[in-house]
Structure formats: structure tokens, C-alpha cells
Amino acid sequence: MTIMLETKRLIIKVPSEQDINDQYKLQSDPDVMQYIATGVRTREEVEKILHTAIKHYQKHKFSLGSVFEKATGEFIGRAGLIYLAFDDTQPDIEVGYALLKPYWNKGYATEITKALLEWGFAHLNIVKLVAVTRPENEKSRRVLEKCGMHFVKMFQYNGIDVTYYEIYRELQFIKLKLEHISLIHKWFNLPHVKEFYSLRSWSEDEVLKKLQPYIFGEKPVYPFLVLGKGTPIAYVQYYPIKYFPWPKQDLPESIIQEGAGMDLFIGEAEFLGKGYGGQIIKQFLDKIIWPHFSYCVVDPDVENSKALKCYKKLGFKDHKIIESENALHKKVKLNLMVMLKQVPHCGYAMLKQNMQNIYGKKGRKWISDLPTVVDKLRDLWKLTNIQPVDNMSFHFVAKTMTESNLPVVLKIGFDKTVVEGEMRALKFFNGHAAIELIDHHTDYNALLLQQAVPGNSLKSLYPLEYDYVMDAYIKTMKKLHNQRLSEHHSFPYIREWLSAIDQANSDKLPMALLNKAIQLKNNLLTTSKNELLLHGDLHHDNILNNGNEWIIIDPKGVVGEAEFEIAAFDFIHSTELKNSDLRNLFNTRIQLISEKSNLDFQRIKDWVFVRLILSASWSMEDKSDPSWAIHLAGLLYG
């Protein structure tokens, strides 16, 4: 027996022709194969797969092998690493395992998966490992999550919809020291580094002269060596951009004061083209830059197409192309790109938490049934490539495709009233400045919606382009409000929403703010005029670009005045909370949107305050933090 991998209790052997009887026993078992491929396999099919696994090992020195218990020597299953679906023309390497039923619930699956992940990152030149499993296979999904893998999307694998998990190599960022100069000198003189970074041949003394002031803190540039499992991979540095302005940069003052610039290059050529660049940037942002800065600015050469593509994929936005001079005193064009620090997305974990917090046992049951419901709706509406979005909070939302390759969105909710309210509002708006409703299923509280393409939200532009965002917001809102409401409609009124303020918990909400909100709410409702069907929650994330226009998603469908609608505008971004003159900034933006929309300033301001208290009240009901809303409300009438 040639051992491929050994754990505390198990051995995974190198695949061989002698494994056929054990493998046939495993892969012809209906319990084992319930969630694997198309189910039980014939002996001929097992022989073919085994032969493929053997060839895979001979070529790559890793594969799927038979698993044995150390204590008994008994065959218990198969496990290993392979290129996804044995396809080594693509980069993904997957973790896989299958165990005979008597060996379930012994912790073997977790033991195997952890060992394979550790072995893969220790022995293979890869930046990530992946795993796939059927959505209804909750035990397997829990194993993957327990081992640190994260759900990313659903996709087609051998013709079957599966969940796709991934985990990235953990990188280390160590401060550059004098002892690293020789290594950096070597890297500076490699062709791929010279192309856009070092630009010429360097002596070791020149490298030392350049980097020594950074190492000893004589200049505000902070250099790091990037390691993967102790192996040097790359160089990266950051610097406060207020000390190193670009010519004619035209950056807002908030970015200049709260932004960091970043430069990097991959040192060793063997790590090129393997996804390391993106992961270095992402992990460096998370670990080093975002704890101290609200913005990151990069300046790739316009000719550096790989860097431009990488930064855009990570979410950097084009700001401006500038002319500058490189170290060789040659004129170059640089593409200034900006990324705003993002609040972590909710994702599936937040959806699960919210369902538990709000609906308890029924919410947990809804989450448990969700994969089955998705599967049924996929068959009903003939959907493919179902990919859940990463900011789910109260609904399951996924991008997908119809059989005619039309991009659509699948949305499933727990609360039938909420889902039906959205459906009725979308029918009323009928595609005017709104996403289109394609179909619905009342039994599953499901909507099939038009997908906005490219689908970026107004939030992605704010506050960097606040003036444009305000104009786009107002234009979209006014188009939405052009639809005339019948006198005999059955839509709810905002007064029904606002009753939550009257029952708000005064122990957690400051009494003065709560009483002020109730007073303003009653006065605003009494004096309200020109009532329209409103979106109801028209914040930046609910306005997406679709082609050359902006359209709304997720309407609540409530009746009220336009000043209530516009009060949902996100006037203050989370990165601006440290602004020393926040109260003035808040009022100035309310005044500006009042002028642009030709709506009453005082009513907008009062509704903003009321909505903030309403938001705080709902946050407490949902067992989430209301402090942000309370703080902003206090700036208006504290």
C-alpha cells in the first residue's frame, strides 16, 4: 500500500487497479451516492473513474484514493484532491470525499477535509481550494463550513446544480527588514518586475538606498514582504496619499485625508497567473489598510492590462487618467482607481441569523427547507446556474438564467405579506423605472424578476460622486411616481408602518428623540398632500443600473408623499461618521436634495428624522444594533 496522505485515524492510499472491488462497493451503495453525481454507478463506470484517478495521480501526484481506518485496516471510502471534474485545463482543484454509511457521524469527514486542505496548501502552488456538493446535502455543507470553506455560488457540475465552496491560502504580511534587501534586489531585476515596477536594472546598493528610509520610518511609506506558508511571494507597500499627491488628481478632500495608496508586484515568476495578485490585494486591504483608512487608491499604468483587470474585478472604480513621469523620467499615463471601504456583506450567514432571530423555530425550518424549494423552482421555471448574491438579509436572492439564456433573479421570502406586497407594487409600476416581474409562485413566496445588467447600485458611487448620485436618484424617483394611483387601490399607507414608533421600546431609545419622532410623525401625517404609490425603502442599494438607465428593485408599495420617499436617501456614508462637521454636512445635503427635487426642505428633514427612529425601532425588533440610526437622528434634533 502506497500512502498518499495520513491523518490521526485514517490513511488515504494512492489509487491503483486493485481498488476496484472496494470502489464498486462504495459507489454502488444508494446511501453513499444519494448526493453524488447521478447516483449509483455500474462496475464499468467505476472502473473508468478509477482509471482516470490513477492517470491523474501519475500526472499530478495527487488524486482520489481509497481511505482506510488505521486501527482496523478496514476500507471506509475514498477521498483526495483533483482538478475539478478531473479537468486540468482549468485552475480549480477540489476537495472530495465519500464514506460508507457505517463510518458516518464519527468525525472522519471533517478530519479528512482538514487534512486535505492543509496538504494542498503545503504542497501545491495554488492560491485556493474548492469543493462542490448538492444544496440539499446539509451534512456535507456543514463539514465544509466547519473546515473554513465559504459558500460562493451555485453552478452546473456534470449537468447537476451544486453549491460551490472555496477557501483561500492565508497570506502573511511581514514588515520589510534589511535582511530582505538581497531578495528584493533579485526581484527588481526580473523581467516581469521591470516591465511596470522597477523599470530598469538595479544594484543592491540602489535598492537599499530606496527602501532603507521606508524600513526605518524616515518616510511615510510602509513596505511588506508577502509570504505563503513561509515562502516569499511578493512585495507590497502602502502610504497615506495626503503626503504623496498625484499631479491634477482631482480627488475629494475626504479621500485625500482618509485614503491610502498601494503598490505591489509578484516577485517569484512561478506565482504569476495563479490568482495571487487578487488575493494579496484583498487580504492586504482587509488586514492592513481597512483598519486604518476609509479609501484605497491605486495608479496602474494604462498599458498594464492585467493589473487594470485585477483591480476592476476586486471593485476598484476608475477615477481619472493622469499624465505623470516614471522613474526613468518618461511620460506615462496612469489610471487612478479608488476603492471605498465596504461594510461586510450579510450573505447567507446573515440571512440565516435574521431568520432565527425574528422567526425562531419557524425561521430555522424555512432555512432548512430552502435548498429543496430552490430545487423545485429551478425545475418549474427551468433555471440554470443559480448564484446567490452576497448581501442577503431577509430574502433568498440569486442570479440565474432561463432556458432561453435570459438573465433573471430568483427571490424567495419567508413573509407572504411582504412578498405579495412587492409583487403588487411591481405590477403597478409595470417596468417604469422598476425591475420587471416575470413570474411568481404564491406557495413558495417566490418571485422571478428581470435581472438588471450590469446591476451596479448607486451605493457604489456614493459619496465619491454624490452630486451625480443625487441627480440619478431624483430622476429615477420621479419616473416611478409618474404612475397614477387609483382611488380604489388596496395598497397600505405609511401611517400603518409608522405605528411601530408608537410601540417602540423607550428603554433603549432616548425618550427625547422618541417623543420628538412621534410629534413630527403625527404632524406630517395630518398635513400630508399629493399622496403617491411609493417604493417605501428607496435607499442607494435599491437602485441599480440597467443598460443606460437606473431602475428600482425591492419596492414595498406604500402610499405617502414624495418627501417621505426621498427621506430614505443615504445622506451620510459610514466612512463619514468621523467628520468633525457631520451635523452641517447632514443638513447641507438635505438642503441640496430639496433644491434639486423641488420638494419641501423642512418636511424632508422631519421625515429623515422620523425614518431614522423607525429604523432604530425595527433594528431592536430584529435584535440588531440601532446605535447608528440613533446617532444620526441626534444630529438633526438632538
Residue with cell 495527487: 62
Q: What is the DSSP string of 579-628?
A: -TTHHHHHHHHHHHHHHHHT--HHHHHHHHHHHHHHHHHHHHHTTS--HH
Residues 6 or more apart from 478 whose CB is under 8 A from it? Answer: 597
Nearest alpha-carbon partner for 99 in 57, 146, 140? 140
Give the burial class of 460: count Cβ atoms within 10 A of its Cβ; 0-12 exposed, 13-18 middle, 19 or more buried: middle
pLDDT, residue 506, reads 63
Task: Indicate the fold that domain 347-450 takes in CATH.
Answer: Phosphorylase Kinase; domain 1 (3.30.200)
- Assess contact for 32 and 26: CB atoms under 8 A: yes
Please give the C-alpha separations between residue 366 and each of 57, 355, 624, in angstroms, as whole numbers.
43, 8, 20
Distance (Å, whole) CA 539 – CA 516: 23
Q: What is the pLDDT of residue 547?
A: 86
pLDDT less than 50: residues of the chain: 344-346
Question: Which of 191, 170, 184, 274 shows the shortest CA–CA distance to 224?
Answer: 184
**Domain locations along the chain:** 3-168, 171-340, 347-450, 458-637
Would you state the pLDDT for residue 1? 65
Contact assessment for residue 376 and residue 444, using Cβ atoms and an 8 Å cutoff: yes
- Residues 379-411, buried b or exposed e (16+ Cβ, 10 A)? eebebebbebbbebebbbbbbbbeeeeeebbbb
Predicted local confidence at residue 33, as pLDDT: 93
Task: Look at residue 159 in the predicted model and tell me its pLDDT.
Answer: 75
495 bridge partner residues: none
What pLDDT is attached to residue 493?
93
Which pLDDT score is estimated for 436?
Answer: 96
Residue 53 in grid coordinates: 484517478
Give the distance, in angstroms, between the CA of residue 422 and the centroid of all CA atoms in the same chain: 25
- Partners of 236 in the β-ladder: 224, 264
CATH number assigned to the domain covering 171-340: 3.40.630.30
CATH number, domain 458-637: 3.90.1200.10
Residue indicated by cell numbers 459507489: 27
Please check whether residue 626 is in contact with residue 580, taking contact to mean a CB–CB distance below 8 angstroms.
no
Q: Is 353 exposed, middle or buried (0-12, 13-18, 19+ CB in 10 A)?
A: middle
Which CATH class name applies to 3-168? alpha beta
Return d(Cα 631, Cα 638) in angstroms, integer.
9
Q: What phi and psi values does residue 226 have, to the nearest 5 degrees?
A: -100, 125
Tell me the three cell numbers of residue 521. 410623525
At CA 501, angle to CA 522 and CA 579, rounded to 5? Answer: 100
CA atoms within 13 A on the CB side of 22: 20
Question: What is the predicted pLDDT for the residue at 50?
Answer: 96
Same fold, 3-168 and 347-450: no
The torsion of the CA quartet 202, 203, 208, 209, rounded to 10 degrees, works out to -80
